[in-house]
Amino acid sequence: MICNVLYKNLEPMPQVEAMLEKKVSKVEELLPTFDDDTVRLDVTFEKHARREEYYTSLTLSVPRKKLRAKDKGFDAFNAMNLAFDELLREVKKFKDMMKKEHTYKLRRAEKKPRKSE
C-alpha cells in the first residue's frame, strides 16, 4: 500500500507516525486481494489556526472506488482514531458490496417461512 502523509499547520509527530503505522496495517489486512501498487492511502493532519481542534482526513483509493473519511478531535490521536474507525467501516461495506453479500441477506430474509399460529 502506498501511503502519503501531509501535515498542515502542524509539525510531524513521531507518536502519531507510530500509531499511523498500526492503523495502516489494519487497513492492509482487510484488503489482501489488491496489489500493493493499486491501493493508495492519503492521510492529512491539520490543526485549526485559531482553536485547539485537529482534523484528520483519509482517502483510500482502490481500483474501483475511492473511500473517504474525515473527522475532528481535541488532539491528533483522537481525530486519527475516529477517522480510521470510519474508514474501516467503509472498507468492510465496500468488501460486502464486492462480494454482493447484501443481496444474500435480502434473499435469506425473503425465504424465511412465517410462523402461523
Res 115: pLDDT: 65
* Residue pLDDT, tens place only, 31-85: 888 888 899 999 999 999 899 999 999 999 998 899 999 999 999 999 999 999 9
Predicted local distance difference test score (pLDDT) of residue 111? 66
Q: Among candidates 58, 75, 51, 56, which has minimal Cα distance to 8?
A: 56
Residue, of 108 and 96, whose pLDDT is higher: 96
- The DSSP element (H or E) to which 53 belongs, if any, is none
What's the rounded mean pLDDT across residues 14-20? 92
Q: Give the model's confidence band at 114: pLDDT under 50 very low, under 70 low, under 90 confident, else very high.
A: low
9 φψ region: left (φ > 0), alpha (ψ -120 to 50), beta (else)? left
Q: What domains sit in the chain, N to C, each tagged with a CATH number?
A: 2-111 (3.30.160.100)
Q: What is the pLDDT of residues 82-99, one digit of tens each?
A: 999 999 999 998 888 888
The set of cell numbers assigned to 74 is 481535541
Q: Which of 46, 45, 100, 40 is nearest to 67 (CA)?
A: 40
pLDDT score recorded for residue 106: 59
